[in-house]
């Protein structure tokens, strides 16, 4: 599945808010051309809330293990939680956190990997999702969106 097809799918979710910093925007230059997805029925980017999914198109200073600076590489990142993380990666978030992360290869294409930086927090990453991962990735994106909706509803309920 192409990047555009995945973007179209996410953008169709009810209540999705997308932060997509553009070249020359007030957002940090490193974030330009990446996408960050939130649940926000108002359409605004929520404050004090992390995205439930991101798409990155380049290496970051603390996150270069996926080799995204190479031509035609990008990565879909999804917060799936500890249980789904273990199911997809074969290890717990605690095991991942305790492992030698520097010795791992996070550059494999079309496979579910722990996120190189946020794996211990229940995030998975897929470099160039393809035939093996797309259907599951789309399900995970829907689930992550619904989880974000439930968290927002709880916050809203406790604020009243």
Q: What range defines the domain where residue 31 resides?
A: 3-159
Q: What angle do CA 45, 18, 117 make, to 5 degrees?
A: 90
Mean predicted confidence (pLDDT) in 74-96: 98
What is this structure's pTM?
A: 0.95
Q: What is the pLDDT of residues 22-76, one digit of tens each?
A: 999 999 999 999 999 999 999 999 988 999 999 999 999 999 999 999 999 999 9
Q: How far is it, in rounded angstroms, from Cα 137 to Cα 124?
A: 10
**What beta strand segments (E) does the chain contain?**
16-19, 35-39, 53-56, 75-79, 113-114, 123-127
Per-residue burial over 136-156, b if 16 or more Cβ lie within 10 Å, else e, is bbbebbebbbeebbeebeeee
Number of structural domains the chain divides into: 1
Confidence tier at 91 by pLDDT (50, 70, 90)? very high
């Amino acid at each position: 599945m192409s990047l555009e097809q995945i973007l179209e799918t996410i953008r169709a979710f009810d209540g999705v808010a997308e932060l997509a910093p553009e070249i020359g925007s007030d957002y940090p230059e490193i974030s330009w051309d990446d996408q960050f997805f939130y649940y926000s029925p108002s359409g605004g980017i929520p404050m004090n809330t992390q995205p439930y999914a991101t798409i990155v198109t380049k290496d970051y200073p603390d996150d270069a293990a996926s080799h995204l600076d190479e031509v035609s590489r990008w990565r879909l990142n999804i917060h799936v939680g500890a249980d789904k993380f273990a199911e997809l990666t074969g290890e717990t978030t605690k095991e991942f956190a305790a492992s030698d992360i520097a010795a791992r290869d996070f550059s494999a294409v079309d496979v579910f990997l722990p996120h190189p930086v946020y794996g211990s927090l229940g995030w998975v990453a897929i470099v160039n999702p393809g035939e093996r991962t797309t259907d599951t990735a789309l399900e995970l994106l829907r689930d992550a969106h619904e989880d974000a909706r439930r968290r927002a509803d709880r916050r809203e309920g406790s604020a009243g």
